[in-house]
């Protein structure tokens, strides 16, 4: 193997925000033709490092060398011109434009200053074929699933003939076959000599694709390793420090399923266009997992039980009574709460403070005229910030400034404050680092022990197995099977998803 050449090097980079040292003396070396995994917990400084590297944030000190020359990117556009492309975690495209327009936005093929639509569409088609995506490039982006949109966002990054490609959590919303598709493309790019930065929370994927690993913790670099030389246990230790590791091991213990009277009974519920004839039962104090691929109907079940989508057939029974749900408020009144999958658009109310985000559900249930006194709001917020260990300097910080894991904790706190009988968690750990991940899993378990019933969807099967008493497998908007006891293993769930 020839020694790879250094493309981009960050030396002793620091970034200070008022009151916070987000990055302290961090080094990062990117080599041509390598996939470099950048790992760390939420708040470790991964995103900040990427933003400094791509010019979205100005560094406080330190040097950046690109192809051996010291350089300074004043804006992401400058970095992009130099050949550093970034694909962010949340799809950053324009849903109302066509796929082709999105791919070539800002650098459309032109003749005499006019856009050549035909040529653009052809090029778009060719580009997407490299991803084995054969779709109508003239259709608006919004028509396609999140997974396809994510691939298109990555294709856009590739289209700009990048020397360095930064992928921030590209696989968070992809199912396993789509992940493999993405990895094929990444390998292809690697052979072409592109340096790829890969940020992810999935450690298996790190070992599948990456050549080199840099671990950050609390804004500092823990170390740079060759993937082949670093066993997984040492990687986790580097990411978490010693004390948290035990937490993740506890997570593996299986929860004991209690047999109790049913709380939620779904009888052949259907929703026009998204669900058909689903039946399932959640007992009191039981955690039921919903497994399935993206689009299998797992989110749609949550939405139907929560009154977001109105049933076209079947019946929902809750605590022995039949529920007619027109809107989420009806479900909340009955004692059902939901942590939605789309945290940013359906969960948090970004500009409002943590305190307000925690108290709003309670307030909504009390009604607008009985305002919760500010002092009680502060006590409530302080209680949950302490109990769920939400990392924030104060309760009046806008929630949008928190990391994903902490936002999720705030939303959990919001529901704990009204103590629902059934808590629905739609992908509660999506895009959350291992530390917060373990904490949330532990929290879910303790809720279960306190007698709260849970309905949980997750694409991480190991996680479902860890706390669910029963797993319901969905495929193509229908229920395939139900697994419990010894049958309930990640292996079996996988098979059920694949074969039915």
DSSP labels, 34-63: -EEEEE--TTSSHHHHHHHHTTSS--SEEE
Residues 332, 337, 343: CA angle, nearest 5 degrees: 125
- Check binding of 356 to other proteins (CB under 8 A): yes
Closest distance to other proteins from the beta carbon of 75 (Å): 6
Smallest CA-to-CA distance from 330 within 302, 301, 308, 359 is with 308
Query: Could you say which DSSP state residue 347 is in?
Result: I
Nearest to 168 by CA among 287, 272, 36, 264: 36
Output the 3-class SS for 169-213: CCCCCCCHHHHHHHHHHHHHHHHCCCEEEEECCCHHHHHHHCCEE
Sign of the torsion formed by the C-alpha atoms of 469, 263, 412 and 348? positive
CB 62 → other proteins: shortest distance, Å?
20
Least Å distance between CB 107 and other proteins?
12
Smallest distance, other proteins to C-beta of residue 148, A = 16
Sign of CA dihedral 137, 143, 148, 154: positive
Q: How many residues belong to the site for other proteins (CB under 8 A)?
A: 55
Report the distance separating Cα 362 and Cα 460, nearest Å: 31
Interface stretch with other proteins, choices 133-141, 176-184, 360-368, 461-469 (CB under 8 A): 360-368
- Which residue's CB is nearer to other proteins, number 314 or number 398? 398
Nearest approach in angstroms of CB 82 to other proteins is 13
**CB closer to other proteins out of 414 and 479:** 414
SS (H, E, C) 408-425: HHHHHHHHHCCCCCEEEE
Contact characters 144-173, other proteins, x per CB under 8 A: ---------x--x-----------------
Q: Which residue intervals of 87-141 are DSSP H helices? A: 99-104, 117-129
| Dihedral sign for Cα atoms in the order 229, 235, 237, 241 | positive
Q: Which is nearer to other proteins, 289 or 328 (CB)?
A: 328
- Collapsing DSSP states into helix, strand and coil, what is residue 343? helix
Closest approach of other proteins to the CB of residue 170, in Å:
15
Find the length of the chain. 500
Q: Which of residues 249-308 bind other proteins (CB under 8 A)?
A: 306, 308
Binding range to other proteins, per CB under 8 A, among 34-42, 109-117, 395-403, 458-466: 395-403
Smallest gap from Cβ 163 to other proteins, in A, equals 15
> What does the alpha-carbon distance between residue 214 and residue 238 come to, in Å, rounded to a whole number?
10
* Cross-strand partners of 482: 472
Question: Of 361, 412, 416, 422, which one interacts with other proteins (CB under 8 A)?
Answer: 361
Candidates 372, 382, 443, 494; binder of other proteins (CB under 8 A) is 372
CB atoms within 10 A of CB 192: 11
CB-CB neighbours of 48 under 10 Å: 22
Binding mask 314-353 for other proteins (x = CB under 8 A): -------------xxx--xx----x-x----xxxxxxxxx
Output 281 or 363, the one with its CB closest to other proteins. 363
Q: Which is nearer to other proteins, 276 or 353 (CB)?
A: 353
Instruction: Pick between residue 86 and residue 123 the one whose CB is nearest to other proteins.
Output: 86
Residues 70-109 contacting other proteins, CB under 8 A: 75-77, 80, 85-86, 88, 92-94, 102, 105-106
Distance in Å, CB of 302 to other proteins, minimum: 11
Q: How far apart are CA 244 and CA 436, in angstroms?
A: 10
Residues that bind other proteins (CB under 8 A): 54, 56, 75-77, 80, 85-86, 88, 92-94, 102, 105-106, 153, 156, 306, 308, 327-329, 332-333, 338, 340, 345-353, 356, 360-361, 363-372, 394, 396-398, 400-401, 414
């Amino acid at each position: 193997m020839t020694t790879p050449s250094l493309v981009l090097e960050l030396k002793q980079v620091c970034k200070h925000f008022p009151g916070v040292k987000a990055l302290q003396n961090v080094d990062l070396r990117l080599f041509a033709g390598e996939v470099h995994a950048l790992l760390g917990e939420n708040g470790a400084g991964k995103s900040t490092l990427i933003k400094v590297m791509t010019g979205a944030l100005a560094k406080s000190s330190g040097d950046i060398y690109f192809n051996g020359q010291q350089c300074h990117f004043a804006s992401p556009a400058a970095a992009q011109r130099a050949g550093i492309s970034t694909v962010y975690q949340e799809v950053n495209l324009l849903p109302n434009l066509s796929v082709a327009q999105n791919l070539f936005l800002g650098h459309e093929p032109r003749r005499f200053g006019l856009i050549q639509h035909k040529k653009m569409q052809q090029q778009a088609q060719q580009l997407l074929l490299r991803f084995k995506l054969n779709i109508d490039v003239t259709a608006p982006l919004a028509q396609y699933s999140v997974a396809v949109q994510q691939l298109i966002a990555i294709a856009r990054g590739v289209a700009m003939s990048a020397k360095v490609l930064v992928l921030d959590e590209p696989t968070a919303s992809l199912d396993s076959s789509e992940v493999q598709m993405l990895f094929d493309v990444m390998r292809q790019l690697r052979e072409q000599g592109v340096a790829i930065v890969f940020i992810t929370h999935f450690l298996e994927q790190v070992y599948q694709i990456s050549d080199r690993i840099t671990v950050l913790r609390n804004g500092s670099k823990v170390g740079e390793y060759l993937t082949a030389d670093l066993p997984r246990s040492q990687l986790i230790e580097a990411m978490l420090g010693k004390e948290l590791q035990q937490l993740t091991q506890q997570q593996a213990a299986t929860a004991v399923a209690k047999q109790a009277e049913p709380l939620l009974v779904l009888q052949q519920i259907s929703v026009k266009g998204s669900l058909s004839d689903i039946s399932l039962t959640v007992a009191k104090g039981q955690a039921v997992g919903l497994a399935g691929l993206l689009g299998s109907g797992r989110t749609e079940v949550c939405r139907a039980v929560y009154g977001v989508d109105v049933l076209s057939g079947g019946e929902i029974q809750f605590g022995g009574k039949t529920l007619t749900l027109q809107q989420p408020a009806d479900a909340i009144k009955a004692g059902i709460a939901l942590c939605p999958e789309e945290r940013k658009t359906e969960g948090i109310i970004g500009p409002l403070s943590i305190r307000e985000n925690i108290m709003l559900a309670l307030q909504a249930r009390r009604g607008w005229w009985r305002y919760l006194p500010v002092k009680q709001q502060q006590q409530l917020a302080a209680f949950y910030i302490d109990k769920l260990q939400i990392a924030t300097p104060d309760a009046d910080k806008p929630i949008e400034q928190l990391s994903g894991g902490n936002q999720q904790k705030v939303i959990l706190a919001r529901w704990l404050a009204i103590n629902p009988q059934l808590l629905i968690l739609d992908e509660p750990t999506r895009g959350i680092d291992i530390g917060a991940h373990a904490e949330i899993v532990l929290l879910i378990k303790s809720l279960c022990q306190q007698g709260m019933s849970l309905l949980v969807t997750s694409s991480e099967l190991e996680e479902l197995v860890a706390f669910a008493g029963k797993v319901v497998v969905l495929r193509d908007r229908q229920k395939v099977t139900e697994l419990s006891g010894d049958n309930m293993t990640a292996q079996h769930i996988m098979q059920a998803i694949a074969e039915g």
